[in-house]
Amino acid sequence: MAATREDVMAALARITLPNGTDLAASGLVRALGVDGGAVRFVLEIDPKTAEAMKPVRDAAEAAVAQLPGVTSVSAVMTAHEAKAPPPDLKPRKAAAHQAGPQALPGVATIIAVASGKGGVGKSTVSANLAAALTQQGKRVGLLDADVYGPSQPQMFGVRGRPASPDGKRILPLKGHGVTLMSIGFMLPEGEAVIWRGPMLISALQQMLLQVEWGELDVLLVDLPPGTGDVPMTLAQKSELKGAVIVSTPQDIALDDARKGVTMFNKLNVPVLGVIENMSTHVCSNCGHEEHIFGHGGAVREAAAMGVPVLAEVPLAMGVRTAGDAGEPVVLSAPDSAEAQAFNRAAKALIDAGHV
Ligand SMILES: Nc1ncnc2c1ncn2[C@@H]1O[C@H](COP(=O)(O)OP(=O)(O)OP(=O)(O)O)[C@@H](O)[C@H]1O
């Protein structure tokens, strides 16, 4: 059995720092990644304590190495000043932006997950699609660019601040095997983002370009709803393979989805497919099926637009509770109808050669 993040933190809690606190509680452990038997983390220390911390690092590595299932441990000490800035995501002037689409080193494909309207489940779909693609053997990153309501830290149960060894490069976090970056990791909990226009664009570019994504088969980008600056910038500044549009079957959501498709068409970004979310509701007590938001609308709309329907995801309590609990339903209830729907969407993207 592989060790979990909790096992690693429990082992680190047994290590005592020179000042008497335990390492897990000290807040120095950052960017903890557990990938099968490989464990890596960063100790973010004040350089003045570097010598004193070396034995702590060695003890931490030794303690984690002893956990059952752990095959390798890498603990890296960062050495920036105690007051060194966190990753520099401050808004910059638009003039500083680089022109033209850029490839991300090591990232084979970038796919946006978009919706015309808020609240249709775009973040839930992004999280489950990421988890499903990972389950199907792909190396997946997820950039939560929903600057108005970043929810991926919650959906993956990942907290903390990504480490930045030099104040520029940002080391992403990992959750359920997915490499994760979210504007939510950079903000004090509960704080709203009030950036606008050029600031948003700058934040997005920095998250794309400064994060060390590593080798990925696909980077999914969970966009904010609508057709604002962020989707436009992503389409213009990155080599975007295409967009997946999420909609409920409701007419109003479909109207907005159509606007999203029109925007991507104008930007010459192919729409790879539509996911109809909150499709049929099956009563968990009696099995009765209801179409709370209507039925088949997204399928009709997709046919009219000439794009495939990747999946119809039922409206199911388990989808929400799994998201709230920090483990996408694809992982927490893999046999459920809703998990199967997400798996079908992931497979459709792979079969079509998009990932
Ligand atoms: N298929 C589903 N069944 C049940 N609940 C769902 C389903 N999809 C999403 N939800 C729930 O609906 C709410 C909104 O979902 P989510 O945050 O993913 O939407 P969103 O489109 O990303 O919203 P926004 O971009 O406006 O923040 C969440 O509470 C989520 O758990």
The position carrying tokens 């809703």 is 338
What span, in angstroms and rounded, lies between the C-alpha atoms of 55 and 57? Answer: 5
Query: 10-residue block means of pLDDT along the chain (355 residues)?
Result: 86 89 83 80 77 89 93 75 46 48 88 89 97 97 86 90 81 94 76 62 82 95 85 85 90 78 89 90 74 73 87 92 94 95 98 96
- Nearest ligand 1 atom to the CA of 125 is 18
122 lines ligand 1 (CB under 6 A): yes
The CA distance from 104 to 81, in Å, is: 29
Instruction: Quote the ligand 1 centre to 163 CA distance (angstroms).
Output: 29
User: What is the pLDDT, as a whole number, of residue 97?
Assistant: 47
Decide: 224 and 207 in contact? Cβ < 8 Å. no
Which two three-digit tokens encode residue 60? 């931490």
Q: To test ligand 1's pocket by mutation, which of 152, 248, 320 has the most ligand atoms within 8 angstroms of CB?
A: 320
Closest-CA residue, ligand 1 atom 5, reads: 320
Give the closest residue (by CA) to ligand 1 atom 25. Answer: 118
Residue corresponding to tokens 């060194």: 84
Superfamily of segment(s) 99-351: P-loop containing nucleotide triphosphate hydrolases (3.40.50.300)
HSE toward the beta carbon, residue 215, CA cutoff 13 A? 1
Tokens of 350: 């792979």
What tokens appear for 300 in the block?
A: 């009709």
- What confidence score (pLDDT) does residue 85 get? 45
CA-proximal residue: ligand 1, atom 15 (nearest): 121
Asked if 5-78 and 99-351 have one fold, the answer is no
State whether the Cα torsion 97-103-104-109 is positive or negative: positive
- The CATH code for residues 5-78 is 3.30.300.130
Cα 270 to ligand 1 centre (Å): 24
- Say how many Å lie between the CA of residue 292 and the centre of ligand 1: 15
Q: What is the pLDDT of residue 293?
A: 66
Extract the annotated binding site for ATP. 116-123
CA angle 70, 76, 79 (to 5 degrees): 160
pTM of the model: 0.73
CA of 242 to the centre of ligand 1 (A): 22
* CB distance 341 to ligand 1 below 6 Å: no
* Ligand 1 touching residue 320 (CB < 6 A): yes
Does residue 119 have its Cβ closer than 6 Å to ligand 1? yes
Q: Does ipTM surpass 0.95 in this model?
A: yes
Ligand 1 and 120: CB distance under 6 A: yes
pLDDT at 84: 40
CA-CA distance, 6 to 144, in Å (whole number)?
A: 24
Alpha-carbon distance values, 5 to 30, 39, 61, 173 (Å): 12, 9, 14, 12
Q: Which residue has the tokens 């007051």?
A: 83
User: Which atom of ligand 1 is closest in space to residue 124's alpha carbon?
Assistant: 18
* Atom of ligand 1 minimally distant from the CA of 225: 25
For ligand 1, the distance from its centroid to the CA atom of residue 124, given in whole angstroms, is 5
pLDDT at 83: 40
Q: Where are the chain's structural domains?
A: 5-78, 99-351
Q: Is the CB of 145 under 6 A from ligand 1?
A: no
Ligand 1 close to Cβ of residue 228 (< 6 A): no
Three-state DSSP class for residue 243: strand
What pLDDT score does 191 carry? Answer: 61
Q: Is residue 31 a contact partner of residue 171, using CB atoms and an 8 Å limit?
A: yes
Ligand 1 close to Cβ of residue 78 (< 6 A):
no
309, 302 Cβ separation under 8 angstroms? yes
Q: How far is the CA of 118 from the centre of ligand 1 (A)?
A: 9
